[in-house]
Amino acid sequence: MSPAEVTSTGSRGTRVIGSIVLAGIVFHVLLSFVWSDPDADQGDLVRIMYVHVPSAWLAYMAFTVTAFGGVMYLWKRSLWWDLVAGASAEIGVVFCALALVTGSIWGRPTWGTYWEWTDVRIVTTLVLLLLYIGYLAVRRIPADPHQRSRRAAVVGIIAALNIPIVRFSVDWWADRTLHQKATIKLGGTELDGLMLFALFFGLILFTLIYAWMMIHRFRIAWLDEQIDRHGLDAAIAERLAESTSDVTRAVGLTKTGADL
């Protein structure tokens, strides 16, 4: 379905994705919190990982899409890409905040504190969240639509430079973080069995959640744009009609005066 054909936020495709997501959430809860084994060191606390890690992954992905959408908007000057970037940023902000919240909950019993300002992973993630909240604020500044979109695109691209800093902070500044290094690497993983499967299932599930939310949020934004555009077109048409009526009336009065 092309943007021009969008008349509602739902479709058969989104309903199918939504049904899969609902079933996946139920399965993921059972898999992560009932069936998988507790960690040898952290016990049942490790189960927070199955929400925390996918949330962080989704935030990275969403903000990357925002940056890509910004690049494409600056290149193509297409409203479609601008709306994609904005919709993805909104979703990214939600899940970045969820990653911080679940991380704090996990950190309290593990590190003895909810928040540690000297931890580079925590601080850089907070900066990432604030940057994209700022991005959303830029999108709402009253201005010419194209100028506002250009400014937002630039902010979204610059903010994305923080993503690799967050991702590799535990490797670059290992002595300034309480976080452990990546559990899953190209050379192998410290997880096995149901724990590894539950984590990967969570990543796939959250990606589907992102896709479902993205489709709906984009369509809402597109419909809002159409309403605004048609409202402006109607106002212009009404004003032109009034002007035409005024001219016709003036011509009629002039003609009447000439006859007299």
For the chain, 260 residues long, give each residue's pLDDT as a single digit of tens: 455 555 566 778 889 999 999 999 999 999 999 998 887 778 888 899 999 999 999 999 999 999 999 999 999 999 999 999 999 999 999 999 999 999 999 989 988 889 999 999 999 999 999 999 999 999 999 888 899 999 999 999 999 999 999 999 888 888 888 877 666 554 556 667 788 899 999 999 999 999 999 999 999 998 888 877 666 555 455 656 665 555 455 545 555 555 55
CA-CA distance, 4 to 227, in Å (whole number)? 12
Q: At what angle do helices 120-139 and 49-76 cross, to 10 degrees?
A: 40
Domain chopping of the chain, boundaries: 11-214
CA-CA distance, 111 to 45, in Å (whole number)? 12
pTM above threshold 0.85 = no
Per CATH, the architecture of 11-214 is what?
Up-down Bundle (1.20)
Residue among 93, 106, 91, 88 nearest 52 (CA): 106
List of E strands, the chain: 184-185, 188-189
CB atoms within 10 A of CB 249: 10
